[in-house]
Structure formats: C-alpha cells, structure tokens
Amino acid sequence: MIVIIGSFRIPPSMVEVVRPVMEEMITASRREEGCIEYAYALDVIDNGLVRVCEKWRDRAALEAHFRTAHIAEWRAQVSALAVSERDLVAHETDEGFYL
C-alpha cells in the first residue's frame, strides 16, 4: 500500500473558492481503481492549511492516478487557486494494524 501524507496552503480568503474544486478532486479520485482513501481536511486552528491523506493499493494505482484528467485539471488550476507550500510525502507500507 502507498500512503501519502502532507499538506498545502490556500489563502483563507480563497477557501470557499477552492472548496468545490477540492470536492471534485476528492470525488473523482475516490472513484479510481486502487484508491483506498482520499481526503483533504481544513485545519481547525491554522486557517488555509489543508491536510492531505491518501491511500493507494499499490504504486501502479498511484501512477494511474497521476495520469487522470482530474489531476491534470487540478495541476492546471493550482496557480489560479493560489495553492502554495505543497508538502506531500509518499510512504510504502503494509496494511498496518489497529491499536
């Protein structure tokens, strides 16, 4: 399994503008073959900070995700949406365990 954890920033004034774009990205990504989890969360304290959590079945599923139309659209809009400070790290892991 591939887990991606990280964050990005949007200006607090842009949150409501970016929200529907993020919703489209999440919805399309969750429909992909091999997507286990795909989520963005606005930080409760740090307005404009978006936390990212993704889980993919394997590297092939993640690479297929990178070739989708919705990723291309997201990347094309990043500048206009004032997305900054992207910090995403992919980790290869097993299925994990529950505490």
Q: In the prediction, which pLDDT does 95 show?
A: 76
Q: What is the DSSP string of 66-83?
A: HTSHHHHHHHHHTTTTT-
Specify whether domain 2-91 bears CATH 3.30.70.100.
yes
Q: Model's pTM, two decimal places?
A: 0.89
* Residue-level pLDDT at 18: 92
Q: Which residue has the tokens 């990212």?
A: 52
* Residue type, position 7, single letter: S
The reported pLDDT for the residue numbered 78 is: 83
pLDDT at site 99: 56
Q: Which residues of the chain have pLDDT under 70?
A: 96-99
